[in-house]
Amino acid sequence: MAVLAPMQPELKAIVASFGLKPAKGDPVFSHVGTAGAWSVASLTIGMGPALARQATRTALAAARFDHVMVVGIAGGLDPDLPVGSLLVPSRVQLYPDGPEYRAHPIPPREASGGLMTTDGLFDDDDIWKPILERGFGAVDMEAAGMAEVCEDAGVPWSVYRGISDRPDEHIVDQAVFALSKPDGSADPLALAKYLARDPRRAKALAHLNRCMQAAARAAAEAAFADLSGV
């Protein structure tokens, strides 16, 4: 099992929930361990479909895997997906009209709902509302890229996403999105400038951080429970 984490906070949740250990000397995978009958190797892949494709190819070239999953956070669109809830989608698609891929969940998990993969933040009502109307209850930035590579390689895949924010709640905007580098790590300079303009923003960022941690933990715990059969 290869478990892909887009960002370091998501990897931290995976490591904690799975009880993984550092993979010393491994050039690809950062942590390894077991979950039930599965051997697990995990790595951080960065943000966006292009990095997801690249990292998935690298992982599949490094070892033989029976399954690949991406575990982390997503932005919720469906009113039935509040912050903190879990989505294990049955289908993913690259925005706006890329191929649609069907997930292969770990039994007895039954996947349901749609997840749209975007290459950036969509906080405009005119963009995200039509996505919801097409039956996609949440958006992420990696699932379709991972799915594309896995389908080409004939490797089953699945997605576990905890909802960390919603565009209608305006927790994340373009300015907040720009505080992260492409690899998902924080940009200290951008953060300093952001807070310098209005120190009161620190409270909102702290709230967002708590939401992200809770969402990442929900996704990681659900993935581990499914693999462990508990």
Contact 56, 150 (CB under 8 A): yes
What distances in angstroms separate CA 133 from CA 59, 94, 143, one per listed residue?
A: 35, 16, 20
- 96: how many CB neighbours lie within 10 A of its CB? 11
For residue 4, the cross-strand partners are: 43, 70
Render pLDDT for 123-151 as a digit per residue (tens, 0 to 9). 677 888 999 999 999 999 999 999 999 99
Report how far residue 86's alpha carbon sits from residue 117's, in angstroms, rounded to the nearest whole number: 16
Render pLDDT for 4-13 as a digit per residue (tens, 0 to 9). 999 999 999 9
Contact 225, 86 (CB under 8 A): no
Please say if the pLDDT value at position 115 is more than 70: yes
pLDDT at 186: 73
What distances in angstroms separate CA 213 from CA 11, 78, 189, one per listed residue?
A: 11, 20, 22
DSSP summary character for residue 186 = B
Q: Structural domains in the chain? A: 2-228 (3.40.50.1580)
Render pLDDT for 156-205 as a digit per residue (tens, 0 to 9). 999 999 999 988 776 676 666 676 777 667 778 877 887 788 887 788 77
